[in-house]
Amino acid sequence: MKALIALEDGTIFEGRSFTGHGEAVGEIVFNTSLSGYQEILTDPSYTGQIVTMTYPLIGNYGINPEDMESAAIHPMAFLIKEYNGFPSNYRSTMSLADFLQDYNTLGVEGFDTRALVRHIRSKGAMKGIVSTKDLDRNSLVERARSWTGLVGRNMVKRVTCDEPYGWASNRPVPGTDFSTARTKNPNPLRIVAFDFGIKFNQLRLLTEKGCQVQVVPATTTADTVLAMNPDGIFLSNGPGDPEGVEGVVETIRSLLGKKPIFGICLGHQILGLAYGGSTYKLKFGHRGGNQPVKDLETGHVEITSQNHGFCVDPESLDREKVEVTHINLNDNSVEGMRHRKFPAFSVQYHPEHAPGPHDAVYLFDRFIEMVRKNI
Ligand SMILES: NC(=O)CC[C@H](N)C(=O)O
């Protein structure tokens, strides 16, 4: 069935839906990973975005129950060059089209994804609309333009949990007591994880490495967190503009120096704001599995998994207080920071991978070491 993709600047692409009728509006972004479409679709950081995959053949290994990064699909729509509806993989339990349909997410194939990506790359991120229902080109462009966009909006409130939960046997378990989260370690570290749209692999890795993790809603107060008496605090990834997330920056600022803190992606940006810095929107973002990041201390380069459209402004940081520890070798943007006085560090990229290279998993060990030192 025919589908139109319209961008706010008037550009139109014509493709076909492989998931039936649908319509979605959002920021059009692209991901350059060669595989990992299930993890990308279930990453809550894509809330409000329409994801285009640059790899030309998608769907060929199906969907399986183990690779979920949250309990739902988050992008507003999914755009690909060619859909393969005959998955061949021993782990696959369903097709990508069925998975998208289960979550009412529109999937469109059969158009020049490379032209779309090159357009965004040269003109910058854009608002867009995808539809099988409205095929009037002028109306679609108008509707893409009138969408509010992501800048300044709080998208975290759409995806954060309502109630605290723990993690056991590869799934969330309700409860507010650390003991609901199980680990094989006889002396587990107690970690409170702020859920800004957390990816399950962050919880899998923390648990595997001997932590009992208690996940809490984004609006949890500093007093509530301190009353839980954690050994460390983890700040997750999440969707949208960090400057649009209300209340959280003050909470994190008041926890600085009281407990060791590790932040990933939105968690890193929120730490940047808590340090008194600011963030800005990148031209078209970094999304993929091959972003080169240099550790400025060791000179080592890691190939990293990334998904972000905003970034901490290095000029805004007080360098007496905060050290930039990592930079992106493609555009020199800030990829990591460390507080000089308090036990707190963060990265813009995704050491939990899922999908992507595992080069940066050691950062979870670095966090655990920092927490143990501060007990
Ligand atoms: N993965 C993330 O946490 C993304 C952070 C933020 N939403 C951004 O786009 O920059």
For ligand 1, what atom is nearest to the CA of residue 237? 3
The pLDDT value recorded for residue 303 is 98
The single residue of 39, 69, 302, 352 carrying the catalytic annotation is 352
The pLDDT value recorded for residue 168 is 87
Whether residue 282 is annotated as binding a ligand: the answer is: no
* Binding site membership of 266 for ligand 1 (Cβ less than 6 Å): yes
The pLDDT value recorded for residue 238 is 98
The pLDDT value recorded for residue 322 is 98
- Span from the CA of 42 to the centroid of ligand 1 (angstroms): 14
Q: Which residues of the chain are in CATH 3.50.30.20 domains?
A: 2-146
Distance CA 359, CA 367 (A): 16
Tell me the CA distances in angstroms from 221 to 110, 216, 217, one per residue in order. 48, 10, 9
ipTM for the whole complex: 0.98
- Span from the CA of 46 to the centroid of ligand 1 (angstroms): 8
Best residue among 237, 281, 346 to mutate for probing ligand 1, ranked by most atoms within 8 Å of CB: 237
Active-site residue 350, yes or no? yes
Whether residue 110 is annotated as binding a ligand: the answer is: no
The pLDDT value recorded for residue 79 is 99
Q: Which residues of the chain are in CATH 3.40.50.880 domains?
A: 156-373
Digits of tens for pLDDT over the chain (375 positions)? 999 999 999 999 999 999 999 999 999 999 999 999 999 999 999 999 999 999 999 999 999 999 999 999 999 999 999 999 999 999 999 999 999 999 999 999 999 999 999 999 999 999 999 999 999 999 999 999 999 999 999 999 999 999 999 998 889 998 877 867 767 777 899 999 999 999 999 999 999 999 999 999 999 999 999 999 999 999 999 999 999 999 999 999 999 999 999 999 999 999 999 999 999 999 999 999 999 999 999 999 999 999 999 999 999 999 999 999 999 999 999 999 999 999 999 999 999 999 999 999 999 999 999 999 998
* Omega before residue 355 within 30° of 0, cis: yes
The pLDDT value recorded for residue 176 is 78
The pLDDT value recorded for residue 186 is 78
Active-site residue 352, yes or no? yes
Q: Which residue has the least CA distance to atom 5 on ligand 1?
A: 266
Whether residue 214 is annotated as binding a ligand: the answer is: no
Q: How many CB atoms lie within 10 A of CB 15?
A: 22
Which CATH number is associated with domain 156-373?
3.40.50.880
Give the phi and the psi of residue 158 in degrees, each rounded to 5.
-75, -25
Active-site residue 268, yes or no? no
Q: What is the pTM of this model?
A: 0.97
Q: How many CB atoms lie within 10 A of CB 330?
A: 11
- In the three-class reduction of DSSP (H, G, I as helix; E, B as strand; rest coil), residue 315 is classed as helix
The pLDDT value recorded for residue 243 is 98
Choose among 324, 351, 350: nearest CA to 337. 324
What architecture (CATH level 2) is domain 2-146?
3-Layer(bba) Sandwich (3.50)
Best residue among 33, 45, 270, 312 to mutate for probing ligand 1, ranked by most atoms within 8 Å of CB: 45
